Chain A
């Protein structure tokens, strides 16, 4: 099992002015599984992801484990990809140096360069290694972030609306690249998105958060075979069934 959450409760806001966002969330994510988290804006998706990432401590009584070990602080083997690539990348470092950042202090210089080159090759940015992020398009910058997340060879990727700021074409390219990469490396992915089609296309399961405080409103299994392709998968009966199920739950939990 990759992630295990048992009756997770989480509060946000300053001490004294806090409110409970998540209550009694129990969720298992198997190794190599691709799970999407959905729910209307402000429901607590980012909060749940931050709890999984060890960036936010859940309330007492909650259990969060990653590969069997309790999460207290960012666990080894978990990488986070943010929606806001402008802040997540360091503009004063080159693309290669950004990807190298998590490896510094862990690998020797030649090992690092080799790993960086290989990872940039994987996301198709080998020729932009010496540019700085602001010189790249949004899609390319998000690829850099993905490369940085993958560079440390994580067992799990947590992604918070990673393609939310991209145009439709770039988005579907990146979706396919992501699927190919995680299939190749059998990485577990927890993926937050607002886009029902995207969630269903990518995932093995779509988990919908709902209520206030939010719990799990639905856990929809997507039965489409892999590898998936943008056109064929999206036309399949399984895709359409899962899609309308998720739709129903989201608009039913208002």
Chain B
């Protein structure tokens, strides 16, 4: 095992620079848009008109609560998906029998498009926050579960022999050996699940009109306020940016702790 390529001050600065250059096309797009767009266009209102549009017609008080709603649904959904995904992933990862028993069911559930669950979920759970969370969990749980399963399977057999020969209890084996060993895999799964969870949160809100930024987008669209739609989409994008960077830094920290190089 070689241990080259440790993160240094230089490479952090390099990455920051990359992020900045990555923003260039976006900035160019916004500028061009600003020049050719007009505040009254029904399709492409100029970016400068987006922010004020949040507050026209006595609106604006609903923005912060909507952000809170969306963030809560999304994060609760992701947390529950992580707990459920890791639990199932470990169960099917350690036992081939459990895997065979539940495999087909998981394949089926995974193949269902999340949007298709919305009508069922509203029927069963009503137009409420739990319904939103359930749909988010059903969409976000798969990458976490699959990554955990793969992670468990790729644990070196020597490590399992070690746990057995030290006579660790089942609880300690899971808590001190299996869970930490699959952490990088779990976080990779969470990283994949994060945008899924956010998209599904917004989609459910949009489809059912139950609170959150997605519901506001639906409203704005139905009442012909394109600038407001764009403004809300920017807000959604910002939420996603923040969450992604949080997950990434958690992942980075765990990888370093495991002595694993950055990919």
Contact = CB atoms under 8 A, between A and B. Distances in A.
Interface string A86-120: 11101110000000011011000000000000000
A179 interface: no
B177 interface: yes
A197 interface: no
List the 4 shortest-distance A-B pairs measured between CB atoms, nearest first: A134-B259, A87-B156, A87-B158, A80-B165
A188 interface: no
20 contacts: A50-B161, A73-B164, A74-B165, A74-B167, A82-B158, A82-B161, A82-B162, A87-B162, A90-B176, A90-B177, A90-B180, A90-B181, A91-B257, A101-B168, A101-B176, A102-B166, A102-B168, A105-B172, A134-B1, A152-B166
A171 interface: no
Main secondary structure on A side of the interface with B = loop
Contacts of A53: 165
B1 A88 contact: no
Contacts of B177: 90
Contacts of A92: 180, 183, 257-258
A92 B156 CA distance: 15
Nearest to A78: B165
B251 to A, nearest CB: 14
A95 to B, nearest CB: 13
A236 B45 CA distance: 94
B95 interface: no
Contacts of B166: 74, 79, 101-102, 148, 152
Contacts of A86: 1
Given A88-B159, A88-B162, A102-B167, 11 more contacts: A53-B165, A73-B164, A79-B166, A80-B165, A86-B1, A90-B177, A90-B181, A91-B259, A92-B257, A132-B257, A132-B259
Interface of A: 50, 53-55, 73-74, 76, 78-80, 82, 84, 86-88, 90-92, 101-102, 104-105, 132-134, 148, 152
A104 B158 contact: no
A55 B165 contact: yes
Contacts of B158: 82, 84, 87-88
Nearest to A104: B172
A134 B167 CA distance: 24
Contacts of A133: 259
Interface string B181-200: 10100000000000000000
Nearest to A76: B167
A215 to B, nearest CB: 25
A5 to B, nearest CB: 18
A101 B176 CA distance: 8
Nearest to B176: A101
Given A104-B172, A105-B169, A87 B159 contact: yes
Contact of A84 (B156, B165, B169, B176): B156
Nearest to B165: A80
Contact of A134 (B3, B161, B162, B168): B3
B259 A55 contact: no
A106 to B, nearest CB: 9
Contacts of A80: 161-162, 165
B164 A74 contact: yes
A80 B180 CA distance: 22
A236 to B, nearest CB: 36
B164 to A, nearest CB: 6
Contacts of A82: 158, 161-162
B170 to A, nearest CB: 12
A122 to B, nearest CB: 19
Find the residue from B165, B167, B183 having the highest chain A CB count within 10 A.
B165
Nearest to B260: A91
Find the residue from B169, B176, B183 having the highest chain A CB count within 10 A.
B176
A75 B159 CA distance: 18
A26 B165 CA distance: 23
Contacts of B165: 53-55, 74, 78-80
A43 to B, nearest CB: 20
Contacts of A91: 257-259
Contacts of B159: 87-88, 90
A57 to B, nearest CB: 12
